[in-house]
């Protein structure tokens, strides 16, 4: 961690403001010094420190500001936007990742923080903070700057290995695993006075099929890791006669009361139905819970075997449950849409496909406080499930796939988190059973729009070619969905390609250079495009290869 934080604005931090409190707390936690810079005066200031941008004090969409943010991002620095608008987030994300973060019609609650960091391993980490209190915002800012969003768990490493191993299996010289997009989004929010975090670890990759631009399939391996805190508001006490529950008085007649513990969590993830569509043309290939608070021994099924040369096939191992298939599932998919199991004092129920034909859903339900039924009139409550009033960390995994022509339609998915609160009162007399009173359901759910990170449809196996003075011939490999086109920038006469275009998942291109008779090295740029629409001459996915020829022996 750098010893300083760069605060960027053309205005000073307002004294006693929420921002000042946030910055002071973050600086103290990180033992860092805050340096204020005005990017409107010197937008090309370079620094290796984390950057925090006050969005209402600077024009984030200014070209010079975006240029500075871009440089910091690709230098693996932390970038945090403080209270940005959706338009500002879109402008920054489009500059850094090549596309907008939100769909135009997206409605979402306001942001306190939006953070971005490109790690050295190519993973893009995103912080989305919707908290309102300065303490919570500061905590989330510090966690992001400390890289706590980089989920370093064995389950995630194994999940990543499944996807990337399959991509790299037995296919030419193009490392498809390196082409897989890796994206982590951390959502920070409060639900029923209980602070929550949902982390989404996503790997996206493409299955190359056929020679058309819209052929093949996009695959998305997703893990949802929750850090859900049931502690705030929980209270247990002895009531003399009446107990106040959710603003209402309930007669107890002396007995114990357990208030505000978690009854259930529901986690639902689905691709929304586009306007005018009658169904979702996406397949849910696999859906399983992976762990609860680190316990993994109860996993329902064995997973999927994603083999093949350039893509994936669903596995046939059935695990403990018989695999089920339907019209929307691949034959042999190791998937069951309905199951249940218990671990400790929590039960998990798989309810996938209830929202639509591709939804991945789970309900975690906790045991309620129970009454002592021993002889005699003195009755008391056993405490509710420990996980219902402490930190609960479920880890769920699922896999989606859809055809390439749907990527402009299915740009994101919706993740909904719902919490149910329970209260239990026990009578003094054992003649009456305990009464379970559900908490107020108002405001007990929140929905987020999670952007898909689309995998590339064009790839190569090198970024540079080096020739010595005598010249010669070298080759590189191209992978494309559809057709590729190659141009040599400015067309120097000393370099040639044996072909200017091709189709399919595997092409070899040979580059030849003449002898270099100059005393200086010379360079050329190969530009490879994917032809998206040959009729209207529309291309995308530009990749450049630098060719360097020395003036002597290499």
Q: What does the pLDDT look like over 502-523, one tens digit per residue? A: 987 788 999 999 999 988 999 9
| pLDDT one-digit tens code per residue, 268-279 | 999 998 888 888
Q: What is the mean pLDDT of residues 281-305?
A: 57
Return the bridge partners of 245, or none. 248
- What was the pLDDT predicted at 323? 26
- Lowest-pLDDT range of 105-114, 388-397, 460-469: 105-114
Q: At what angle do helices 86-97 and 63-73 cross, to 10 degrees?
A: 60
The dihedral formed by the CA atoms of 78, 81, 86 and 87, expressed in degrees to the nearest 10: -90
Band (495; pLDDT cuts 50, 70, 90): very high
Q: What are phi and psi of 266, to 5 degrees?
A: -115, 130
Q: Measured between alpha carbons, how far is 143 from 32 in angstroms, rounded to an integer?
A: 14
Q: What is the mean pLDDT of residues 184-196?
A: 88
Q: Work out the mean pLDDT of the chain and round it to a whole number.
A: 76
- What was the pLDDT predicted at 105? 40
Q: What is the mean pLDDT of residues 180-196?
A: 84
Q: Measured between alpha carbons, how far is 78 from 49 in angstroms, rounded to an integer?
A: 8
Domain ranges of the chain: 226-451, 458-549
What's the topology of domain 458-549?
Answer: Immunoglobulin-like (2.60.40)
Q: Measured between alpha carbons, how far is 274 from 412 in angstroms, rounded to an integer?
A: 11
DSSP structure string for 352-407:
TTSSSTT-EEEEEEEPPPEE---SSS---EEPPPGGGGSEE-EEEEEEEEEEGGGT
| pLDDT one-digit tens code per residue, 436-456 | 999 988 889 999 888 888 888
The pair of three-digit structure tokens given for residue 428, joined into one six-digit string: 């003094």
Res. 345: pLDDT tops 60 = yes
- CA 165 from chain centre, in angstroms, equals 20
Band (536; pLDDT cuts 50, 70, 90): confident
Q: Measured between alpha carbons, how far is 109 from 128 in angstroms, rounded to an integer?
A: 11
- Lowest-pLDDT range of 114-123, 142-151, 235-244: 142-151
Return the bridge partners of 185, or none. 126, 200
Res. 18: pLDDT tops 70 = no
Sign of the dihedral defined by the CA atoms of residues 317, 319, 325, 328, in that order: negative
Give this prediction's pTM: 0.77
Task: Encode 340-379: b = buried (16+ Cβ within 10 Å), e = exposed.
Answer: eeebeebbbbbbbbebebbbbbbbbbbbbbebeeeeeeeb
- What was the pLDDT predicted at 329? 24
| pLDDT one-digit tens code per residue, 28-82 | 777 766 665 655 555 555 567 788 888 876 788 888 888 888 888 888 888 888 8
- What was the pLDDT predicted at 173? 43
Q: Which of 356, 351, 461 is nearest to 396 (CA)?
A: 351
Please name the residues in contact with 340: beta carbons below 8 A apart, sequence gap of 6 or more: 347, 348, 349, 350
Q: What is the mean pLDDT of residues 375-379?
A: 62
Res. 376: pLDDT tops 60 = no
- What was the pLDDT predicted at 124? 81
- What was the pLDDT predicted at 336? 41
Q: Measured between alpha carbons, how far is 229 from 205 in angstroms, rounded to an integer?
A: 33
Q: What is the mean pLDDT of residues 518-540?
A: 88
- Lowest-pLDDT range of 36-40, 103-107, 253-257, 424-428: 103-107
Res. 424: pLDDT tops 90 = yes
Compare 321 and 382 and report the one with higher pLDDT.
382
**300, 339 in Cβ contact below 8 A?**
yes
Q: Measured between alpha carbons, how far is 258 from 235 in angstroms, rounded to an integer?
A: 6
The pair of three-digit structure tokens given for residue 224, joined into one six-digit string: 């949802």
Q: Which of 208, 180, 178, 182 is nearest to 479 (CA)?
A: 208
What is the CB neighbour count within 10 angstroms for residue 452? 21
DSSP structure string for 256-277:
EEEEEEEEEEEEEEEPPPPTT-
Q: Measured between alpha carbons, how far is 240 from 58 in angstroms, rounded to an integer?
A: 58
Compare 256 and 43 and report the one with higher pLDDT.
256
Q: Measured between alpha carbons, how far is 57 from 65 in angstroms, rounded to an integer?
A: 12
Band (171; pLDDT cuts 50, 70, 90): very low
Q: Which of 332, 283, 269 is nearest to 306 (CA)?
A: 332
Q: Measured between alpha carbons, how far is 201 from 225 in angstroms, rounded to an integer?
A: 8
Compare 460 and 379 and report the one with higher pLDDT.
460
- What was the pLDDT predicted at 301? 32
Q: Measured between alpha carbons, how far is 386 from 262 in angstroms, rounded to an integer?
A: 10
- Lowest-pLDDT range of 29-33, 285-289, 502-506, 526-530: 29-33
Res. 199: pLDDT tops 60 = yes
- What was the pLDDT predicted at 526? 96
Band (415; pLDDT cuts 50, 70, 90): very high
- What was the pLDDT predicted at 163? 53
């Amino acid at each position: 961690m750098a010893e300083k934080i760069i605060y960027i604005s053309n205005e000073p931090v307002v004294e006693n403001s929420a921002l000042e409190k946030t910055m002071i707390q973050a600086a103290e936690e990180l033992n860092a010094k805050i340096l204020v810079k005005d990017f409107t005066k010197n937008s090309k200031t370079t620094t290796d420190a984390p950057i925090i941008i006050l969005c209402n004090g600077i024009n984030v969409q200014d070209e010079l500001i975006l240029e500075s943010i871009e440089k910091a991002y690709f230098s693996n620095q932390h970038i945090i936007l403080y209270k940005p608008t959706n338009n500002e987030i879109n402008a920054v994300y489009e500059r850094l990742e090549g596309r907008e973060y939100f769909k135009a019609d997206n409605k979402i609650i306001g942001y306190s923080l939006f953070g971005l960091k490109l790690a050295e391993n190519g993973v893009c980490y995103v912080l989305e903070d919707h908290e309102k209190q300065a303490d919570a915002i500061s905590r989330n800012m510090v966690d992001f700057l400390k890289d706590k969003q980089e989920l370093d768990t064995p389950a995630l490493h194994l999940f990543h290995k499944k996807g990337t191993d399959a991509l790299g299996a037995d296919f030419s010289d193009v490392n498809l695993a390196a082409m897989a997009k890796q994206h982590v989004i951390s959502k920070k929010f409060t639900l029923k006075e209980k602070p929550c975090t949902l982390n989404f670890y996503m790997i996206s990759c493409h299955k190359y099929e056929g020679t058309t631009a819209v052929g093949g399939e996009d695959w998305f391996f997703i893990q949802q890791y929750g850090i859900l805190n049931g502690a705030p508001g929980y209270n247990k006490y002895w009531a003399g006669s009446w107990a106040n529950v959710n603003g209402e008085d309930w007669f107890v007649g002396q007995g114990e009361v357990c208030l505000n513990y978690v009854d259930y969590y529901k986690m639902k993830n689905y691709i929304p139905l586009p306007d005018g569509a009658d169904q979702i043309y996406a397949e849910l290939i696999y859906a399983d819970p992976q762990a609860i608070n680190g316990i993994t021994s109860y996993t329902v099924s064995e997973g999927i075997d994603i083999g093949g040369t350039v893509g994936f096939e669903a596995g046939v191992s059935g695990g403990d449950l018989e695999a089920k298939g339907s019209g929307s599932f691949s034959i042999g998919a190791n998937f069951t849409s309905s199951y249940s199991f218990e671990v400790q004092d929590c039960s998990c129920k798989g309810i996938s496909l209830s929202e639509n034909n591709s939804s991945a859903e789970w309900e975690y339900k906790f045991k309620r406080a129970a009454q002592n039924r021993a002889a005699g009139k003195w009755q008391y409550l056993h405490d509710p499930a420990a996980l219902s009033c402490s930190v609960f960390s479920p880890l769920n995994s699922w896999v989606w796939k859809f055809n390439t022509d749907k990527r402009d339609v299915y740009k994101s998915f919706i993740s909904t988190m719902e919490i149910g609160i329970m209260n239990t009162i026990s009578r003094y007399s054992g003649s009456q059973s305990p009464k379970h009173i559900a908490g107020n359901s108002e405001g007990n759910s929140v929905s987020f729009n999670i952007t898909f990170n689309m995998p590339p449809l064009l790839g190569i196996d090198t970024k540079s070619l080096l020739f010595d003075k005598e010249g010669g011939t070298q080759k590189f490999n191209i992978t494309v969905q559809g057709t590729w086109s190659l141009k040599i920038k400015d067309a120097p006469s000393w370099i040639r390609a044996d072909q200017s275009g091709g189709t399919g998942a595997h092409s070899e291109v040979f580059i030849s250079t003449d002898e270099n008779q100059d005393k200086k090295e010379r360079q050329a740029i190969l530009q490879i495009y994917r032809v998206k629409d040959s009729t209207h001459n529309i291309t995308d996915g530009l990749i450049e290869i630098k060719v360097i020829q020395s003036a002597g022996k290499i």
